[in-house]
Amino acid sequence: MARLQRRHAQGSVSALWRDARSCFRVVPAAAASRGGLLRHGEAAPGWLLEDAQGLFRSATELAWHVDGEPGLVYTHDWNNRPVVHERMHWTLAEAAATAALLLKRTGDATYEVWYRRFWDYIDRFLIDRERGSWWQELDRHNRPSSEVWSGKADLYHAYQATLLPRLPLSPTMARAIADGAL
């Protein structure tokens, strides 16, 4: 975490701290990087897991339920105040996958609590039970919205959120599926 904080002070990872979605994208990438290194006989650097856990902790602290309603706000400013209060489907899908990967990597039950919390939220608010699929975006009160994006959600994120928890940390998702890991 200290490594990313130093880079943040230099301005090179600013998007990671303003956008919860980015935080949840970095952690699976770190898991994949670790898997790739191990496959090639190289050790993963010690800071990789520490930073992934720090990013997850920061994203959940800064974005979850911070405006009085459940869900992850989309962005916040440099003073950690929410800017875009909408909740995007892909952020929750990536958050659930990230929690599952960190649980698998660390065995820390905290990540299972978050995994279940994210899926409870997805089930309660994001799944459109009348027309199918997920809502693309919800407003700050968890009602369907089109303030930032309109239309229905893509299938990619929902599909990935259900697949990643069932796969090993290594190799990559595509390789694991091709190898019959499901």
d(CA 96, CA 90): 10
Kindly report the average pLDDT of the chain as a whole number: 82
Nearest CA among 91, 98, 92, 90 for reference residue 29: 98
Residues of the chain above pLDDT 70, percent: 77
Beta bridge partner(s), residue 127:
134
For residue 121, what are its two tokens? Answer: 């939220």
Q: Are 131 and 114 in contact (CB under 8 A)?
A: no
Q: Are 139 and 150 in contact (CB under 8 A)?
A: no
Residue 8 has pLDDT above 50, yes or no: no
pLDDT tens-place string over residues 85-143:
999 999 999 999 999 999 999 999 999 999 999 999 999 999 999 998 899 999 999 99
- Type and span of the H or E element at 53: helix 46-63
Residue 2 has pLDDT above 70, yes or no: no
